[in-house]
Every structure is written in structure tokens, then in C-alpha cells.
Amino acid sequence: MNWLKTIRPINLLIIIITMLSLRYLVIEPVLVQLSAMLKTELVLQMTVLQFSLLVLSVILIAAGGYIINDVYDVEIDRKNKPGKNKVGQQISESLGFNVYYILTATGIVTALALGFWLGNYNLALLHIAVAASLWFYATNFKKSFLIGNLIISLCVGLIPIVVGFYEIVPLQEEYFHLSEKYKNFNLNFLSYWMIGFAVFGFLATLAREITKDMEDKEGDISQNAKTLPIVAGNAIAKIVVVLVYGAMIYGLYHIYVTHLTDSWTFWYFSLLALLLTVMLILTVLAKTKGHYHKVSNLNKVTSILAILYPIGVAYMLYNSNLL
């Protein structure tokens, strides 16, 4: 149970759902519709086993990242979250290091094996870069001025991008010949879907990380941290978070008005925009650790809802209402 709490199973489940959602509720339904329109079969290029290895690699590296984060947070968590960090209590720091190395190394080896199978070792470089980023985040940048926030936000934003690299790039290569037969044929628009989810994930995580820094400010000060709330004050940190939520609301509005004008998108984006607005207001009004914690939890709920949006997308694609 202690290990289960340390690797953040809910967060890992969110990663899995995100990757499955993009593959099976966006990319595959698009291919089914295009196949019907072009009267030719377009199929996913990765097998189920290959995709499973991709998900496994990402999960192992993420789990390792959570463990090394807790190893280096033992002292500061005694102040900010007493009893929550199991490393240094029920789990020794040395064991934490060993399990981190095993999980991360296994994740990288899995990525290399998958790259060998797919004939492209370069794909594994992204996994190595993320693993290195999580290490440097935990050891050097977590409590630095914005850098740690940006590292974690980028890692979250890369999850849809990873799916794009593994799924969409091979599709573009495999079906490039169709561009000769069909003048405007390309699969670039699938990349825009991945980018959209990546940007949402990046911004939501950035806002949540800064909010958590405001929540943990007292304990962070005792450890000489240099987070945004400590260096610039809560007022400035709140302005940054409000601007991030404002940008997300505008982004949803812009996508609906210019690209996805269907009723499902209208109602779903309206719900997301409402939640973002509530978080914006609660952030402005927040004064205590409990207030910031509630905003942080609502942020996670909103992120989970965002990755479920493709359920309606798949329904519309299979019913010819989107393409």
C-alpha cells in the first residue's frame, strides 16, 4: 500500500486513459471515416502489443519520477505534508533510489526495444529526455523559480505528443501515396488534435503546480525554496494562474468558433470553461492552504474531464458528423 501511494496510481491511470483515448477515440475513428470516404482501408500502424509497450514505458518512467521526487522531498514534506510521504518512513530512502533506478531503466529499455521493433531508435530519445527531466526536476529544479513548474508541465504536455510521434508519423509515411490521388489529402490535422490536448495539459499542469506552490509556501520557505510565490509573492503568482486559466478559456472558445462547431463540443467546452472560470475565481479569493488545495483538486477533475472529451468525438466520427 505504501508503494501504491508513492507511485500515484490515479495520476498513472490518467496517463493511460489519455493515451488510450487519443488512439482509440480520435485517431482510429478518423481512419475509419477516411476509409469510408476514400474507399480504401486506412489502419493504425502500431499493433496492440506495440502500443501496450509504449504505454508501459511511459508509465514506468512516470512512476520512477514520482518515487525520486518523494526521495528528495523527505525533509520538505515533513513540513508541508506530514505523514503523506512514505519515503523516509515506511520506505527507506536507499530502497526508494533502487526502485527508481529499476523502474526508469526498465521504462527506457522498453522504449529502446519498441524503437528496435519499429525500426526507429530515435523514438526512444523522447523517453530518455523525459526521464532525465524528471531526475533534474527532483534533484535541482523542483523548488526553483518557475523552472520546475515548466519541466513538469512540459512532461505532461508531451504525453499526447508521444502518441502523435508513434501513431501519426507512421500513418503519414504509409499513406503518403494517397496525396497523389487525392489533391488535398494529408493527415496533418490529426497532429493538431494531439497539439490541442498537449497545450491543455501543459497549461492546466502549470496552473496547478503554481497553485500547489502557494499551498506549500510556508514549508518551502523553511527549506530556502525559490518558488514563484516566495520570490514574487502570492499576488503575482495568482495573476499568473489567472492568466493561464484565462488563456485556456479563450483557447476553448477559439477552437469552438473556428474549428469544432458541433453541439457536443459546445456543451463540453462550456462545462470546461465554467470549471476553469470557477478555478480562476477561487484562486483570486484563496487565502489558506485549504483553499489552494481545493483549487488544485478541482484542476485535476477538470483535466480528467478534458481527456474524456474524445468519447463524443468518436461517436460523431462513427456517425459522420465531424469529418
0.95 exceeded by pTM: no
pLDDT > 90? residue 147:
yes
Three-state DSSP state, 275: helix
**Partners of 87 in beta bridges:** 91
Q: Which of 160, 154, 110 is nearest to 130 (CA)?
A: 154
> Is a pLDDT exceeding 60 seen at residue 321?
no
pLDDT at 112 over 60: yes
Is 144 a residue whose pLDDT tops 60? Answer: yes
- Give the mean pLDDT of 180-196: 81
Give pLDDT tens digits for 33-76: 888 888 888 899 999 999 999 999 999 999 999 999 888 876 66
- DSSP 8-state code for residue 321: S
Model pLDDT, residue 83: 53
Q: What is the mean pLDDT of residues 99-121?
A: 95
How far apart, in Å, are the Cα atoms of 109 and each of 52, 72, 131? 14, 25, 12
pLDDT higher than threshold 90 for residue 251: yes
pLDDT of 282 > 90? The answer is yes
Can you read off the three cell numbers belonging to residue 260? 469544432
Alpha-carbon distance of 311 to 316, in angstroms, equals 9
- List the grid coordinates of 92: 527507506
Instruction: Please state whether 294 falls in left (phi above 0), alpha (psi between -120 and 50) or beta.
Output: alpha
- H/E segment holding residue 268: helix 263-285
Can you tell me the mean pLDDT for 160-182?
84
Average pLDDT over residues 164-178: 85
Mean pLDDT lowest among 85-94, 155-164, 286-295: 85-94
Calpha distance 323→47 (Å, rounded): 25
Q: Residue 78's pLDDT is what?
A: 58
pLDDT at 218: 86
**pLDDT tens figures, 12-28:** 999 999 999 999 999 99
Max mean pLDDT among 130-144, 172-186, 200-214 falls in 200-214
91 strand-pairing partners:
87
The Cα-based distances of 27 to 123, 182, 190, 191, 261 in angstroms read 19, 20, 7, 10, 19
- The grid cell for 114 is 519498441
Q: Which contiguous run of DSSP H or E holds residue 112?
A: helix 93-118
Euclidean distance between CA atoms 285 and 117, whole angstroms: 53
CA dihedral 258, 157, 315, 37 (to 10 degrees): 70
The whole-chain average pLDDT of the chain stands at 90
Closest CA to 303 of 57, 105, 14, 7: 14
